[in-house]
Structure 1
């Protein structure tokens, strides 16, 4: 009895899993339905069988036909194949499985396609099994490329399986309607403090309003959104100065969001640079031939000092498809390949350099990718780049994960993805890094006094988990006229005090006066702000190696040269408890010397100040000796001593209450006062 029942069930299953054709027998009296279905299939086939195939255009037609007959093996296979070539690749699996269920011989590629569908859904073991059954197309003479492709995809599945077993702790959230639209939005770049995001969109309302005849979508334009509290404000098109009637895409942004790299289709794919002038972006200018070649330069990233680029190119002589190079923007040398530690025989793309200047993020089809492009991280140590580290699951997926950027704090990353919670197409997402999971608090009961009826409970707390932070300080604020409070466009020089070298120069925004400077740890920095007609302003940031991320807001009022004006010289340093000038003071002293040389009538009082710690009489004497050391230096450089006086005020003129360490540091200072001009 059981034998006959089993046979009946097998027969019923086989009968049910038969492909149903689009025929008069299937549709019966529904002639209009058959006619409509065949029309949709014909329209889909025109796109599907074109050279090259237009899967995106074919898919809607096949889905319409599917509504009229969902049991056709060939149609299910075509829908699955179209999804494999779309942004929503994981959706292919159910259609491919149904096609195979209806007809296991539906297509010679079926095992390969099933492998892809399973792979893209993270079903690693099942995908490997299908890949192993895949065979090259009939009549293929050279099967080596097919074999290599299968081996690569099996390797990707093995990598994915291992990475998925140890997922990283992150939140991945849609960046919201201020940024995203029902159209493709992608390629985000951000300022170091996450106050500005620029991205590429193919939304309605693009410059020129035309559609690309190749893809059918609108041409790419660059958009900008500013952060408003915890959300992104409504994005605006940057207009015709940046965007043309063709494709324009942003690929890089300086940490202060004052310079932008734009990809254009000229010459096979080139990089242009645009500068922010007040509230308006200037027209992008083509970068030189050392950066752009006849090949395809697809993306790039600024170094924190703005002097060099990391760029991606498929120029001849590389190690694979596209490689990552380093090149000086205004130098003379050619772009240098980063070498086999970073570049693979496959493609690299979407490079980004963190504001710390030593941490690089990029996407690669090589290394231990789990499929397509994965995002990797490498650190520049001891003169070389470290072995790339996969950012892990679920940041990386079996599909392409490209164009990742991260804030200076290291807390948030941004990239684009096709996800079911999107607003219609590819959207931009924010990744929040949570750090390693904290071990549970352990409560152990030790029999410390065994003779007692109740044991003493000793609670052992798990040690805190350190959260790694970026080793960089972000200094930002606004430069204004001290008297009128109006914003100023000023030059901001970043100086390595130990070397007395200017390592970077920036400008505050002409309209808002805002500035932002990225300071990697490990340097004693002098910050000098200057503008014609004003006295220079200096700040000091001594950041030891390994100093954790911090963000300092410093508004800078520049003072005009008037009698009675005082300026603190924050980059003059003395040996402890002495009046001996340290070599790190040289840059500040030279600036003071230059000011006096350029203004022959200028007369100054140099004064020394201390906090209130210690003997008041001793502090006054020390402050006076330090002021005299500055005057002696200037006189030694040719400045007439008749133009200079010095005074030591000890702790009698504090600029902050002597109640904290930071305040006392402010009070220990050297300054000058204009006594004549």
Structure 2
């Protein structure tokens, strides 16, 4: 009898434990003040929760306060879970939704869908799929609260998540630290190609206007900047850029040119527009609107420069797109309209956070489509043979079931930056550093026999082959400072990037007005001429012949420009001859035209054109070859109308080296053509 009584009481005990408790005098009559305060919090929470549109984040603290008084109300737990699902801490919704269902399985027609969302956002893929399937019953009838198409998509996302989590990406994900992150929301990082500068958006209490957004309750967005000390590998304390970049309203980072001299910001004008600011010295100028070919009455939210600075990729929800938000490309100086990137990139869902790598061909963006595991995932696509490759999901744990947006990556391809909500965060949303480790290399047995001295006979010893290095981006970063050769003062020089094969200037940049610093991104596969010019100075040229597939490298080249004076010498690094010959190659045309223009602009200028070689081969042959090459340059200039009396040619062979002949690099420097000012 006792056994049956015990069994009978077990369900009753469970029922009492999971009983829904209302906020009523009958239940809390002994604590009238507590009940009154809880009801007041409930009322204030409902005003936010039921507003149009709902203000979930404002409702949440009121609901949580009421829940402390009565943790066993099904409706309240449901509302807290629903509010968390619309906050920056979505995974925290799950325990409240589970409790709401435990207290009352019929608490809301959406309960299985909401439980599915909570499980989904916690990467509980199988359980989430089961709840989504159970939620299909809520898609029938008049005005169903849940969409069947939405449920089907969510199930597909969970299936994608299961597959991606089984093969995680090899990365380290680390908080960027207190120099960048704060107790407030920090997000939207953009970086220079060499990671020396980072700008980002933050909602801190020291914002320029000091006001709170009435819609969200948070402080208005401002743009902040931090610089990296490469020697110590540390970021400086982030500073608010202040006016004129930041205003009393929302100001958010959107994109940064590879050299860090041009920045795009988002402003709320006209429904959401893109603006551009230039860095002059250490100060950012007032942002200017990008024009009607980019900004429309719709919402333009993110953008990225091409490495040459001549084109822009941007995101808009304007009419005529393939989905809710699409990625477009436009030439900044042209007249043609922006071109939709098409169905390989854009989906029937939303695309956002576009970023173009300094190699000029690799694009990163976020999408709700493709094989997303939930919300926006970050994808990678490469433009080759005239088309974009099928977007590749960056995988778990970079991508999560929540939104992962506004990802940028360094020119080296080694580090990425984005914002995320994680357990080690300092605020509601923090900026994180992703270190890419590359694919894991399987052990490879060496083919060499290891001779062990203790054995009479050779024994094959299993040994691991040397590790294979991680593949790097196919781009070269050239950076340094431009100064006056005599005074050492920095110069705001123009830096032209020339495609020597096509004899075209493909990009132009300026060194920073105060520091003289510059940075140029050079994607592999082109023979580049780099020309540095400033009024009152002779031009300086460099050559980078980067074959297709050339791995990432970083070249520091400080350039001292020379003022025009008798005796000054300038090396013409972009004049080329075939080996052992004095025939000018076509790639020399741009440099020769530049020299011709110098002589045309300065009609009293007289020059000696000289040829030089290394010490390989006989001295007599080298001197003759250098003389013939110098004469070939003079003949070209005379053929273009330059007075022959203003030019002389000389061949010095190997008698005037500028570097050692003991190394390949030194011998290359010694093989050169240069001019010397002989009169002005």
Structure 1 length as normaliser, TM-score?
A: 0.96
Give the corresponding residue for 2:19. 18
Bigger drift between 421-430 and 483-492 goes to 421-430
- Per-residue deviation, 1:464: 3.3
Match of 2:590 in 1: 587
What is the aligned partner in structure 1 of residue 170 from structure 2? 169
Kindly state the Cα deviation for residue 457 of structure 1 after the two structures are TM-superposed.
3.2
Partner of 2:151: 150
Q: 1:159 to 1:2 in 2, by over 3 A?
A: farther
Q: Which residues of 2 match residues 487-526 of structure 1 at below 5 A?
A: 487-526=490-529
- Distance in 1 (alpha carbons) for counterparts of 2:369 and 2:525: 33
- Do structure 1's residue 104 and structure 2's residue 105 form an aligned pair? yes
Q: How far is 1:466 from its partner?
A: 4.3
Q: Are the aligned partners of 2:366 and 2:378 in contact in 1 as well (CA < 8 Å)?
A: yes
Give the 5 Å matches for 1:518-537: 518-537=521-540
Partner of 1:187 in structure 2? 188
Superposed CA deviations along residues 605-645 of structure 1, whole A, max 9, x for unmatched, are 11111112222222222112211111121122222222111
Query: What corresponds to 1:373 in structure 2?
Result: 376
Match of residue 304, structure 2, among 292, 301, 305: 301
Query: Which residue is equivalent to 1:42?
Result: 43
Contact (CA 8 Å) 2:139, 2:146: kept in 1 or not?
Answer: no
Which residue pairs with 1:605 in the alignment? 608
Q: Which moved more, 1:241-250 or 1:332-341?
A: 241-250
Partner in structure 1 of residue 257 of structure 2: 254
Structure 2 equivalent of residue 676 of structure 1:
679
**Residue deviations 1:100-153 (CA, integer Å, cap 9, x gap):** 122212222110000000000000010000000014658843669711000000
Tell me the SS of whatever aligns to 1:375: strand
State whether structure 2 residue 366 is matched by structure 1 residue 363.
yes
Asked whether 1:401 is paired with 2:421, we answer no
Deviation at 1:68, TM superposition (A): 2.2
1:248 CA drift (Å): 1.3
- Which runs of no fewer than 5 residues in structure 2 stay unpaired? none
Q: Are positions 1:283 and 2:286 aligned together?
A: yes
The 1:662–1:347 alpha-carbon spacing in structure 2 relative to 1, beyond 3 Å, is same
Is the alpha carbon distance of 1:12 and 1:554 closer, same or farther for their aligned partners in structure 2, counting shifts above 3 Å?
Answer: same
RMSD value, Cα? 2.2
1:574 is aligned, of 565, 573, 577, to 577
CA distance in 1, matches of 2:183, 2:579: 63
Change in Cα spacing, 1:444 to 1:36, as seen in structure 2 (3 Å) is farther
For residue 351 of structure 1, give the secondary structure of its aligned residue in structure 2: strand
**Cα separation, 1, equivalents of 2:450 and 2:415:** 47
Q: Deviations over 1:58-93 (max 9, x none)?
A: 111111222222222222211111111110100111
Distance 1:26 1:565, change over 3 A: same
Compared CA separation, residues 448 and 515, structure 1 to 2 (3 A): closer
Distance, in Å, in 1 between the alignment partners of 2:146 and 2:15 is 36
CA deviations on 1:308-342 (whole Å, 9 max, x unpaired) are 11111111111110111111111000001111111
SS of aligned partner of 1:398? coil
Q: Residue 436 of structure 2 aligns with which residue?
A: 433
Q: Partners of 2:40 and 2:140 in 1: how far apart?
A: 33
Q: CA deviation at 1:34?
A: 2.2
1:315 aligned to which of 310, 314, 318: 318
Residue 461 of structure 1: how far off its partner (Å): 2.3
SS at match of 1:413: strand
Answer with 272-281 or 615-624: which moved more: 615-624
Aligned to 1:78: 79
Mapped contact 1:47–1:53 kept (Cα < 8 A)? yes
Which shows bigger deviation, 512-521 or 596-605? 596-605
Aligned partners of 2:593, 2:450: CA distance in 1, in Å? Answer: 71
CA distance in 2, matches of 1:559, 1:118: 67
Match of 1:624 in 2: 627
Q: Are the structure 2 counterparts of residues 143 and 386 from structure 1 closer, same or farther at C-alpha, using a change threshold of 3 Å?
A: farther
673 and 453 in structure 1: CA distance in 2 versus 1, 3 angstrom threshold: closer
Between 297-306 and 620-629, the greater mean CA deviation after superposition:
620-629
User: Paired residue for 2:266?
Assistant: 263
Who is 1:647 aligned against?
A: 650
**C-alpha distance in structure 2 between counterparts of 1:106 and 1:463, whole Å:** 62
Q: Which runs of 5+ in 1 are unaligned?
A: none
Deviation of 1:257 after TM superposition, in Å, equals: 0.8
Does the 8 A contact of 2:139 with 2:147 survive in 1?
no
- Contact kept, 8 Å, 2:110 with 2:145, in 1: the verdict is no
Q: 1:672 to 1:148 in 2, by over 3 A?
A: same
Q: Give the secondary-structure state (helix, strand or coil) at the position aligned to 1:458.
A: coil
Q: Is the 8 A contact 2:139 2:148 kept in 1?
A: no
C-alpha distance in structure 1 between counterparts of 2:201 and 2:264, whole Å: 12
Give the direction of change, closer, same or farther, for the CA distance of 1:65–1:443 in structure 2 (3 Å limit): farther
- 2 CA distance for matches of 1:555 and 1:455? 56
* Partners of 1:98 and 1:443 in 2: CA distance: 59
Q: Distance in 2 between matches of 1:430 and 1:607?
A: 51
Cα shift at 1:462: 4.4
User: Relative to 1, partners in 2 of residues 1:139 and 1:639: Cα closer, same or farther, differing over 3 Å?
Assistant: closer
Helix, strand or coil at the partner of 1:363? strand
| In 2, Cα distance between equivalents of 1:454 and 1:371 | 61
Deviation, 1:390, is 0.5
Asked if 2 retains the 8 angstrom alpha-carbon contact of 1:182 and 1:423, the reply is yes
Quick one: distance in 2 between partners of 1:30 and 1:4? 35
Cα 1:318/1:563, change in 2 over 3 Å: same
Q: Is the 8 A contact 1:436 1:465 kept in 2?
A: no
TM-score by length of 2: 0.96
Match of 1:331 among 320, 331, 334: 334
Distance in 2 separating the partners of 1:285 and 1:136: 52
Structure 1 pair 446/328, CA: closer, same or farther in 2 (3 Å)? closer
Other structure's SS at 2:114 match: helix
SS at match of 1:664: helix
